[in-house]
A = this chain, B = another copy of it.
Amino acid sequence: MRGLPEFAIGAPQRRLEGGEKVQGRMDYVADVRIPGALSARLVTSPYPRARIERVDVEAALRVPGVLGVHTTRDIGSMGLLADGEVFFAGEAVAVVVAESARAAEDGAARVAVRYERRPALLDPRAALAPDALLARPVGARAERSDAGAHGAAVGGSAEQTGPNVCGQVAFSRGDIDEGLRLADHVVEGTYRIAGAYQGYLEPHGSVAVPTQGGVTVYTTTQGQFSVRAGVASALGLAEQQVKVVGMQIGGGFGAKFLKLEPLVARLALLYDQPVRIVLDRGQDFLLSTPGQMAEIELRLGARRDGSLTGIWARILLNAGAQPDETVGIAGLMLGSSYRVPHLDVKGYEVLTNTTPTGAYRAPGAPQAYFALESALDELARRLSMDPIELRLRSAAREGDPQAHGRPWPTIGFEEALEATRNHPLWKERRRGEDEGYGVAAGGWMGGTEPAAAACRINGDGSLTVQVGSNDITGTNTTFAAVAAEVFGLRPDEVRVVGSDTDTAPYAGAAGGSKTAFTVGAAVLQAAQDAREQLLAAAAGALEASAEDLEVADGRVFVRGAPTRAVAVSDLAAQTAAFGGRTAPFHGSGRTAIRRASPGFAVHVARVRVDRATGRIRPIGYLAVQDVGRALNPAMVEGQIRGGVAQSLGRALFEEMRHDAQGQLASASFLDYALPRANDVPDIAVQLVEVPSEHGPFGAKGVGEPPAVPGAAAVANAVCDAVGARVRELPMRPEAVLRAMRRD
């Protein structure tokens, strides 16, 4: 490898596909128009809990164009259709297949389902009781692991296992009573965090086409290979019989895993015709898997000097109507970020008859850090200590034990805190009237998954990189930079091909902040492999040793003697000609990084609070993050700004709200408030680079950390501005007013 300074890595690059996107030339799954494709439409339950007594399809079948109505009885659940009983309002009960989307919609409206309503369990705290109503029978709990795919190692187990508890976690160290007794100050509070919808632009949709002995599925997904595995498994096929084409994706944020694909694939095989389903926004709200509503009780003890003596926490997550395992991540992050001698963290996740939840960008972490970082801020105030200084006293460092006892690998938490402290936006903070500053930190463990990649030198010397990851954040542009770096080219001279599961090298789902980290490492290895093949061929042509050769600008030359050179295109021509005497230059990368590289972010929010209305207005923002190495700073900063915007949404506006009858009351963008452009202030970004030992060029995952600390930063700023501690999300004006009256 060439030494520093690198000219492709670390330089800001435009997204390769940006032009096509802004010109509207990209094909999303809704653009897949296959002549003769049938349309499918789901029939959903209006009740949170009911037995399905009868599905009357006569009226639906009379709608012209309607071809059939299917339920679990004839096509199986396919992971989507209710099996005799519904457990949340919006659960799919039947699917109508018709010759057109309109006919399918008309048909769905005419499917008459007779329900026997049953009592529903809506309150997660009530769900915890040993004698609680069962949200769903034990046997009807499907296995799910979306959250797991986002990446925390989870350990421990709490003792309380009520009938609705679907996930739990327990970590302890020392003696918590002792820990809190030793404290000069103990802060204590209960934090409530609303469930939040991922709010992507593009709703779920899939198109399936029957093939000889199998099926091809076009879909909007974060992980085409896991969709392939899921479809194959649901249909009893081998993976090689299923081809998944991950289309351009209009946002995922953790929600675009296996969803509609098994169902449309099943229907396509049933009808032996292509079948298409695209959810409208209302159904997408009902069927997506939002981030979990949480309630966290927290006690934090510290000595006068700011050193922490104990952390006690009880975490309750509402999984909704399907099992979920996010609480482990929440507990781990809460118990690991600061050095503390005494620790007692327990968490429970419960089933209720509300919208099933899943992964939403750093699942569990925004909830955990909202509590933890609010409490730390309270502690700093109590100690009259600089909040960054307080954090620096105990911030986890490499080698410190995590909650489960295993040591932290290289992390840049301290470095991010130091960079924040030195940033002018913090250092030179100036409060206007009713204004305040808040600081908060947050981390993310990061995920790992085996990955492969290929790098080919074409017959004219041009370079093609092949990956199987779905590009949701501009990772392909990053991969171009990685390969360009190895070959001394500009990133726009590298073509990155991300193709379907039939033709692309394996990559895990784009989730868990691991695509650049793991697939990028495979790309680096593939490019280096191709480079070695090239240099071996050049060594013969130049009568030099391969170790003495260098490549840049389309030429291979002898180091120190740049005129002894051969064009890459001349060498490549020999690999792609009749009678050619050199094997094709096809580099191969195969990696299985076994250790994650966690990332930490520190955010500073500046807000103004309207004392009369309680309305919070963010007026400044700083996001500092350890990214290991910014492969493409433009994109890293973009990721960070996006994460901040989502944080502000969860801080101020967003809530998946169920009414007293268990209906989702926020199933449209009229009722579910996303932040608008004018709700988001300018965001200053500062990158810290503490290199990972595993990621390409030292890179760490960057997608999730920026979505973590925002809410606490805003809450702390509100307290700084008006002295009121708000412990619930979203921080609606009435909550602020309530807190101002209380504090």
- Cβ contacts under 8 Å, A19 to chain B: 212
Beta-carbon contact of A17 and B212 below 8 Å: yes
- Cβ contacts under 8 Å, A650 to chain B: none
A238 touches which of B238, B460, B574 (Cβ 8 Å): B460
- Cβ contacts under 8 Å, A452 to chain B: 583-584, 586
- Cβ contacts under 8 Å, A35 to chain B: 33
Beta-carbon contact of B578 and A148 below 8 Å: yes
- Cβ contacts under 8 Å, A145 to chain B: 578
> With A and B bound together, what is the CA distance between A742 and B69 in angstroms?
81
A503 touches which of B232, B503, B512, B576 (Cβ 8 Å): B503
Beta-carbon contact of B586 and A582 below 8 Å: no
Given contacts A495-B240, A580-B592, contact A586 B505 (CB under 8 A): yes
Beta-carbon contact of A464 and B594 below 8 Å: no
- Cβ contacts under 8 Å, A2 to chain B: none
Beta-carbon contact of A508 and B578 below 8 Å: yes
Q: How many copies does the complex hold?
A: 2
A341 interface residue, CB < 8 Å from B?
Answer: no
Beta-carbon contact of B580 and A20 below 8 Å: no
> With A and B bound together, what is the CA distance between A497 and B502 in angstroms?
7
A238: nearest chain-B partner, CB-CB: B462
- Cβ contacts under 8 Å, A33 to chain B: 35
> With A and B bound together, what is the CA distance between A495 and B592 in angstroms?
25
Shortest CB-to-CB span from A462 to chain B, Å, is 4
The CB with the most chain B CB atoms within 10 A, among A448, A464, A503, A533, is that of A503
- Cβ contacts under 8 Å, A241 to chain B: 462, 495
Shortest CB-to-CB span from A85 to chain B, Å, is 31
- Cβ contacts under 8 Å, A450 to chain B: 574-577, 580-584
Beta-carbon contact of A584 and B451 below 8 Å: yes
- Cβ contacts under 8 Å, A533 to chain B: 590
> With A and B bound together, what is the CA distance between A17 and B212 in angstroms?
8
> With A and B bound together, what is the CA distance between A644 and B212 in angstroms?
32
Beta-carbon contact of B592 and A575 below 8 Å: yes
A590 touches which of B448, B583, B591 (Cβ 8 Å): B583
Encode contact with B along A194-215: 1 for CB under 8 Å, 0 otherwise: 0000000000000000001000
- For residues 439 through 458 of chain A, which have their beta carbon under 8 Å from a beta carbon of chain B? 447-452, 454, 456, 458
> With A and B bound together, what is the CA distance between A583 and B453 in angstroms?
11
Beta-carbon contact of B584 and A506 below 8 Å: yes
A529: nearest chain-B partner, CB-CB: B588
- For residues 398 through 454 of chain A, which have their beta carbon under 8 Å from a beta carbon of chain B? 447-452, 454
A458: nearest chain-B partner, CB-CB: B239
- Cβ contacts under 8 Å, A497 to chain B: 502-503
> With A and B bound together, what is the CA distance between A43 and B576 in angstroms?
34
Beta-carbon contact of B460 and A505 below 8 Å: no
- For residues 350 through 385 of chain A, which have their beta carbon under 8 Å from a beta carbon of chain B? none
A587: nearest chain-B partner, CB-CB: B588
A517 interface residue, CB < 8 Å from B?
Answer: no
A464 touches which of B240, B574, B581 (Cβ 8 Å): B240
A137 interface residue, CB < 8 Å from B?
Answer: no
A552 interface residue, CB < 8 Å from B?
Answer: no
- Cβ contacts under 8 Å, A590 to chain B: 533, 583-584, 586
- Cβ contacts under 8 Å, A588 to chain B: 586, 588
> With A and B bound together, what is the CA distance between A508 and B458 in angstroms?
12
A459 interface residue, CB < 8 Å from B?
Answer: yes
A290 interface residue, CB < 8 Å from B?
Answer: no
Given contacts A17-B212, A212-B25, contact A506 B575 (CB under 8 A): yes
Beta-carbon contact of B232 and A449 below 8 Å: no
Beta-carbon contact of A449 and B582 below 8 Å: no
The CB with the most chain B CB atoms within 10 A, among A450, A497, A505, A577, is that of A450
Encode contact with B along A483-520: 1 for CB under 8 Å, 0 otherwise: 00000000000010101001111101100100000000
A500: nearest chain-B partner, CB-CB: B503
Given contacts A497-B502, A505-B586, contact A577 B449 (CB under 8 A): yes
A225 interface residue, CB < 8 Å from B?
Answer: yes
Given contacts A240-B458, A450-B584, A462-B240, contact A149 B578 (CB under 8 A): yes
A579 interface residue, CB < 8 Å from B?
Answer: yes
A542 interface residue, CB < 8 Å from B?
Answer: no
> With A and B bound together, what is the CA distance between A449 and B579 in angstroms?
5
Given contacts A449-B579, A497-B503, A578-B447, contact A462 B584 (CB under 8 A): no
Complex A-B: 8 CB contacts under 8 Å: A25-B212, A148-B578, A149-B578, A238-B462, A239-B458, A452-B584, A456-B505, A588-B588
- 4 additional contacts, CB 8 Å, given A239-B458, A452-B583? A448-B580, A580-B592, A583-B591, A586-B588
- Which residues of A line the B interface, CB within 8 A? 17, 19-20, 25, 33, 35, 145, 148-149, 151, 153, 212, 225, 228-229, 232, 238-241, 447-452, 454, 456, 458-460, 462-464, 466, 495, 497, 499, 502-506, 508-509, 512, 533, 574-584, 586, 588, 590-592, 594
In the A-B complex, list the 5 residue pairs whose CB atoms are closest, starting with the nearest: A503-B503, A240-B495, A583-B590, A240-B462, A506-B584
